[in-house]
Structure 1
Amino acid sequence: MQDLGDSDPLRDNALYFNRELSQLDFNFRVLAQAQDPQVPLLERLKYLCISCTNLDEFFEIRAGTLRHAQDLGLPTGADGLPPATVLARIHDRAAELVQAQYECWNHVLRPAMDDAGVRVLGRDCWSESQMRWLRDYFRDEVMPVLSPLGLDPAHPFPKILNKSLNIVVVLEGKDAFGRQGNLAIVRAPRSLPRIIQLPEDVSGGPHDFVFLSAVLSTFVDEMFPGMLVKGAYQFRVTRNSELIVDEEEVDNIALALRDELVGRGYLRAVRLEIAEQCPKPIVRTLLENFDLPENAVYRINGPVNLNRVTQVYDLVQRADLKFPPYQPRQLPGVENIFDTVGSGDVLLHHPFDAFTPVLELVRQAAEDPNVLAIKQTLYRSGKDSQIVEQLVQAARNGKDVTVVVELRARFDEEANLGFADRLQEAGVQVVYGVVGYKTHAKMLLVVRREGSKLRRYVHLGTGNYHAGTARAYTDFGLITADPDIGNDVHLIFQQLSGLAPAIKLKRMLQSPFTLHAGVLKRIDRETRLARAGKRGRIIAKMNALNEPQVIRALYQASQAGVQIDLIVRSACTLRPGVPGISDNIRVRSIVGRFLEHHRIYWFGNDGEPELFCASADWLERNLLRRVETGFPILDNGLARRIHDEALTNYLADNVNAWQLEADGSYRRVQPEMGASAHSAQASLLAQICE
């Protein structure tokens, strides 16, 4: 592939969107689901909460990393924007998102929920009986666990935990010690529910709720007897949550990570949410204490912890307000998974196919006397993981069990430390991967004696070994006994657990070694085919795209006439539709009932298509700084199924699809005149109901 160096016009900053801003914009597409009257009401509420939770995580990770980059003068991305500029634009765009979220809550969802008999009552709506009950609740359940802190020279501003609910109280008068009142901080205990359900005999309905923040603000005067409460304003601070462990400088990464987790909730502040009516002097005081600039404050017209209203979704059992339930397909022959897989590869398309075969593979391997060894990677596994328990049982049954646990799986670090301890106590060999590289690959290897030979059974996936997300995320899993793939996986596990030299894989691609180069090689092949007058075609589906070399290769392919369709759920820094550069590239995002999570790379190859599923997005970190796998689908029938179900099906979606325009905006795709509506996810659900 031709590389012209810095003079390459394809390196022009204008050809790249900023990753952080692109990722932030994804939440507007999620919020659009909350605003869509065609979506069941409580599902709309859930989408609103997801957009709020996503925004929290965005500030914890992306904004925190940007502030760190700004301090250190670190280089920018391919878009060329300095961190300070990006942070300023984040504030403006995030402020738009916050305003839209609360507009949706205050003027769309909350009134609609009232009409449906699900009420989240503000303090101005409480009846006398509700007021009495809530006052008693405050005195009996809340007051005993509160520790209000008056601010004075003996009581400096307290440490505020990341994303915790707090009330800043303005006081007038003197307390019993003669101390002059000024400001006090009331921290909501983490043990208390943020949403309180009113008893039916008090509310008159089965589904009436109140925010804890409203209860605290209403009865805050009872915490300061003899003093006048002039105002009470809820606030929440978001802190950088990106843990930094210098793996080269520690003897034990698990111990170092445990130490880091202790202080994670008190790292550098990056955002302040404060009640809309809070006076400016108090806002300035808070900003000074959190060492935040003016553009880090967001005034909130409603509860600052709006994402907590998602509890209402769980508490209200109203089938008429939720998506219809479904039962995923069950794989026939799962009762003897080795016989089934031994006769041919098995493809699982979650959540439409049940996760049961994966669980059964581990369970049967743990019990089968012919199984000698089990090896697995664990990135996210969920609470009370059945897979972890089966691995423990396998070790107790005398199997040789090796598990590569990724301790640095963001926000799952503590859970994974617990899993690692549990596994080690059972005699499992636990490996923490490779220093400096997160192990994000999803691999399971079972070694079984069959007659006089050993046979390898492998599961490879685009998603995690997490039964919960297998019901909520779209992912592919392949279970195969192909000897070449089995040997490739065996070599990768050897590399992860030992100090093996570079390995040569026969079928699979692996980052940080061959996956990046393999993708570039196949894009270049389509480019050369197009230049030779043949049909060049690429379709890829992933969560995010920002790797500059891959993007430049796609631009070159487009210039050669290759037709390229990219299905990218969230951040995409490639600019499509630029004349002479990317006018043959189309980018769409799908936001529907399930979180789109497949990673699929399809290359036309002049009529002999090649299809890979992978654990990796086309991001710099995944392709260059992580351990990832791309695995080919060798069975032509299964490859066609993936192509039909997850590529052409999604390219035909005109219900949940958004088209990325050349200016960076997303346009919702509508059915053309006379065309029927087509939802990719709904069509797959319909198949399992047939």
Structure 2
Amino acid sequence: MDAPDALPIDPAASLRLNRTRTGIRTRPAPERNTELTHPQLYFNREISTLQFHIRVLEQALDEAHPLLNRLMFLLIFSSNMDEFFEIRVAGLKQAIGIDESAKSRDGQTYQQTLADISQITHEHVARQYMILNKVLIPSLEQEGIRFLRRANWTKAQQHWIASYFENEIQPVVSPIGLDPSHPFPRLVNKSLNFIVELDGQDAFGRTGGLAIIPAPRSLPRLIQLPAEVSSGEGTDYVFLSSMIHAHANELFPGMIIKGCYQFRLTRNADLAVNPEDVSDLASALKGELLARRYGSGVRLEIANNCPAHLTTFLLQRFELSEQDLYLVDGPVNLGRLMAVIEGAGRPDLLYPPFTPGLPRALRRQTGSYFDTVAEADILLHHPYQSFAPVEQWLKEAAVDPDVLAIKQTLYRTGPGSRIVTALTEAARNGKEVTVVIELRARFDEADNIELASRLQESGANVIYGLMDYKIHAKLMHMVRRENGRLRHYAHLGTGNYHATTARLYTDYSLMTAHPEICQDVHLIFQQIAGMGQPRTTRHVLYAPFTLNSTLIDMIDREAAHARRGCKGYLMIKCNALTEPGLIQALYRASQAGVKCDLIIRSTCCLRPGIEGVSCNIHVRSIVGRFLEHTRVFYFRNANKPELWCGSADAMERNMFHRVETCFPVLDKKLARQIKKDMDTYLLDNCQSWQLEADGHYVATPLPGQQEAISAQETLLYAYALKR
């Protein structure tokens, strides 16, 4: 097993920001005449995803970020790894159970992939805890934010903690002794638990053995000490796990505690709903949400001082192997440290807040949003520009007596959504409101079920989407009576209708009254809500019908232009690139001489830089303050450029198993604006990583004497700070 002791030889070197190479060794590049379907032309999807998570972890060492933001990156890495195990590793294990010889597109068996995942994750989880313990915690202590270990508690702190344990923890903790009448408890996914080894005899004559202490989920995992027992200026925190360790003997009076060790089990959390067995999707999902908490185990994290016989006992209990065991030097549930970022009260250790900007047309707006949008399309670039106009437009529509109908897709919305409030108000005002809610938005299923009920109670027509296809498109459509005629308006975006993520994710959204685009949106809503053959749209592409094939056609068109002597160029920016048809089209374009700039935030299965195949393809990833989320497709098209934005990533699931949209930006001024933004990303020399042919990502060297260019900071200044 590659456990935390399998660290780099030089621990100090392992804690420096890796500005050279990150990734794993891959097989040699194929020969020049290799067919475009050859496995060696594809990177492994799971490994590529892991590489992105590692790039996020690297941000925790980048001193260009404020200290608490660096901690946040480390915690995001932890959260990303949780989901990676819950979904991706769990999926691999399930697939192996069906077919042990199954292979991915790169020719590697799933068994080999799991072995590689184990090697990489053991190394970087250990690195994560080293960064936390050796870099971030000491740096936070210098700023007066302290995490107190039991050995360092003062007498006053010990007394306060003992009182807190007696009054707040002990009344809600239910330790479980393991014996024939008390079998091993069914532990909730990712819950904090303790395995306790006991000696002695209890009141019923039972001799010591093992017990489990499930930490109540209602208790905070990090407790802030009051000022009167603080160690000095600043803030002192104590982990719940430390309190339970210190007072575990009080939970087993008269028994001897031989050892108490925290652990956490990660389970398969993917939902599986069989369309043939479902008559009511919402009811079926409610049952699956309960089952998610108790799926099969995929990873066991446990304190690194836990004796081998106890780790073996737990592995056997959860039917896991040594490959699935992670011995950690710190809290097993790092995500709870987010409470420090939110509650420390240290804005000086975070990026300074900013007020998102507005397009000029909205800054000088005097009338209604409908009048402004009717005059010209409005493009918003979030988070640099405000999401509020989208909310305010819908709010205006909800009370406008001339608005007759509103249709909206909702994938993720967030609590207290103004979008939802406006939709319910519109329904109560007698407007025809139709909301397409995707109940299966991963990890938001319960919220969306509740949201659907709220909208239905207001009188809105709620559609749960389609059994076999997730509704991932970001669309809003409004019909308004103007001068005796009906006029259509639409909003299309690359991101969710979620005000919080609109301040954290980069996205484009378009407010338009273009008759043909609005009619396309109307037809797509009819297609989703009703039945019938695919509708023919004039401008908007939509999956699973026209999006993939048209993107391939546009890539092939660029290649044809290049073969005729035109200067071929295309640029694609999205979150992931895995769809083999698109990858092969890009290979063909490269072979024809088309320069292809790809800005792929996370997973990329395309192998760039192969002579005769992909030497004209350049892949980079931007990781910074904001999560890159825009999906943009640009084609030079023989000096008749086309630019498209969409909701879909270049993945099989998006192209063939979801309802997605991709819309052209027809206003040339707005298209040039987006193209300029994309060019800024290509100039980034502060937060960009270049993908090499061998699978490593190379961080762009620091600019030195050259001008330092951070794309995100440049765009923030241009859109929000420059007034």
**Structures share fold, TM-score greater than 0.5:** yes
Taking the TM superposition and a 5 Å limit, the aligned residue runs for 1:284-683 are 284-330=312-358, 331-332=362-363, 333=365, 336-645=368-677, 647-672=678-703, 674-683=705-714
Indicate if the aligned counterparts of 1:48 and 1:307 stay in contact, CA closer than 8 A.
Answer: no
What is the alpha-carbon distance in structure 2 between the residues aligned to residue 222 and residue 205 of structure 1? 32
1:246 match: 274
Per-residue deviation, 1:426: 1.1
Counterpart residue number, 1:25: 51
Structure 1: how far apart are the matches of 2:324 and 2:280?
36
In structure 1, how many angstroms separate the alpha carbons of the residues matched to 2:54 and 2:707? 26
State yes or no: 1:268 paired with 2:296. Answer: yes
The residue aligned with 2:67 is 41
Change (3 A) 1:609 1:671: farther
User: CA shift at 1:672, angstroms?
Assistant: 5.0
- Structure 1 residues not aligned, in runs of 5+: 1-6
| 1:66-120 Cα distance to aligned partner (Å, 9 max, x none) | 1111111285332122211111111111111101110100000000001111111
Structure 1 CA distance for aligned equivalents of residues 34 and 296 of structure 2: 39
Task: Provide the secondary structure at the position in 2 that maps to 1:686.
Answer: helix
Structure-2 separation of matches of 1:122 and 1:560? 62
1:115 and 1:429 map into 2 onto residues whose CA distance is 56
2:279 counterpart SS class = coil
SS in structure 2 opposite 1:373?
strand
Aligned-partner Cα distance in 2 for 1:523–1:195: 52
1:686 corresponds to which of 712, 717, 720: 717
Residue 118 in structure 1 maps to residue 145 in structure 2 = yes
**Aligned partner of 1:150 among 167, 173, 177:** 177
Contact preservation (8 Å) 2:118, 2:324: yes
Separation (CA, whole Å) in 1 of partners of 2:626 and 2:316: 42
Is 1:165 equivalent to 2:192 in the alignment?
Answer: yes
1:140 aligns with 2:157: no
Is 1:227 equivalent to 2:252 in the alignment?
no
- Residues of 2 paired with 1:368 and 1:511: CA distance? 33
User: Counterpart of 2:301 in structure 1: which amino acid?
Assistant: E
Deviation for aligned residue 1:670: 2.0
CA distance in structure 2 between the aligned counterparts of 1:440 and 1:465, rounded to whole angstroms: 11
1-structure distance, mates of 2:389, 2:607: 40
How far, CA to CA, are the matches of 1:672 and 1:382 in structure 2?
39
RMSD between aligned residues? 1.2
- Cα deviation, 1:11-53, whole Å, max 9, x if unaligned, reads 1111111111111111111111111122111111111100000
Choose the corresponding residue for 1:279, options 296, 301, 307: 307
Deviations 1:391-431 (A, max 9, x none): 11101101000000000000000000001001111111111
- AA matched with 1:29: R
Structure 2 distance, partners of 1:263, 1:177, is 35
Taking the aligned partners of 1:493 and 1:231, their CA distance within structure 2 comes to 60
What amino acid does structure 2 have at the position aligned with 1:439? I
Q: Alpha-carbon deviation of 1:206? A: 3.6
Deviation at 1:154, TM superposition (A): 0.6
State the alpha-carbon separation in 2 of the partners of residues 147 and 448 from structure 1.
Answer: 59
SS of match in other structure, 1:501? coil
SS of the residue corresponding to residue 493 of structure 1 reads helix
Q: Is the 8 A contact 1:334 1:357 kept in 2?
A: no
Deviating above 6 A after TM superposition, structure 1's stretches of 4 or more consecutive aligned residues are none
Partner SS, residue 9 of structure 1: coil
Q: Is the 8 A contact 1:199 1:206 kept in 2?
A: no
Q: Is 1:48–1:101's contact at 8 Å kept on the other side of the alignment?
A: yes
CA deviation map 1:607-628 (0-9, x unaligned): 1111100000000000111100
Q: Which amino acid aligns with 1:395?
A: A
In 1, distance between residues paired with 2:475 and 2:366?
Answer: 19
AA paired with 1:210?
Answer: V
The match for 2:3 is none
Bigger Cα displacement from structure 2, 75-84 vs 35-44: 75-84
- Worse overlay, 668-677 or 204-213: 668-677
Letter of the structure 1 residue corresponding to residue 651 of structure 2: L
Q: For residues 440 and 565 of structure 1, what CA distance do their matches in structure 2 show?
A: 26
- Do the aligned partners of 1:167 and 1:185 also contact (CA within 8 Å) in 2? yes
Paired residue secondary structure (1:454): strand
Assess if the C-alpha contact under 8 Å between 1:378 and 1:403 holds in 2: yes
Partner Cα distance (1:221, 1:518) in 2:
67
Tell me if structure 1 keeps the 8 A contact 2:507–2:629: yes
- In structure 2, which of residues 238, 244, 260 is the aligned counterpart of residue 210 of structure 1? 238
- Work out the CA distance in 2 between the residues paired with 1:575 and 1:354: 37
Q: Per-residue CA shift, 1:634-685, capped at 9, x if unaligned?
A: 000000111111x101011000101111111111102456421100110111
AA partner of residue 109 (structure 2): P
Distance in 1 (CA, whole Å) between partners of 2:510 and 2:151 is 55
Q: Secondary structure at the match of 1:292?
A: coil
* Structure 2 portions without partners, runs of 5+: 1-32
Distance 1:285 1:90 in 2: 24
1:128 partnered with 2:133: no
Contact 2:59/2:70 (CA < 8 Å) preserved in 1?
Answer: yes
The aligned counterpart of 2:211 is 184
Residue aligning to 2:129: 102
Q: Is the 8 A contact 2:588 2:613 kept in 1?
A: yes
Map Cα deviations across residues 247-282 of structure 1 (whole Å, 9 max, x no partner). 232111111111111121001110000100111111
CA–CA distance in 2 between the matches of 1:289 and 1:262?
21
- How many Å separate the matches in 1 of 2:55 and 2:154? 38
- For the residues of structure 1 that align with 2:433 and 2:181, how far apart are their CA atoms? 56
User: 2:251, 2:332 → 1: CA distance?
Assistant: 21
Q: Deviations over 1:133-170 (max 9, x none)?
A: 11111111000000000001111110010000001001
Aligned partners of 1:122 and 1:634: how far apart in 2?
Answer: 60
User: What's the TM-score once normalised by structure 1's chain length?
Assistant: 0.98
Q: Is the 8 A contact 1:406 1:433 kept in 2?
A: yes
Residues 200-240 of structure 1, C-alpha deviation per residue, up to 9 Å, x if partnerless?
A: 11013341111111111121111111111011110000011
Contact 1:239 1:267 in 2 (8 A): yes
SS in 2 for 1:67: helix
Secondary structure of 1:527's partner? helix
Distance in 2 separating the partners of 1:585 and 1:666: 15
Name the CA distance, whole Å, in 2 between partners of 1:89 and 1:671: 31
Q: Could you tell me the percent identity over the aligned residues?
A: 52
The one-letter code matched in structure 1 to 2:264 is R
Matched, 1:68 2:94: yes
Q: Equivalents in 2 of 1:215, 1:580: separation in Å?
A: 62
Partner Cα distance (2:464, 2:190) in 1: 30
Instruction: Name the CA shift for 1:561/1:467 in 2 (closer, same or farther; >3 Å).
Output: same
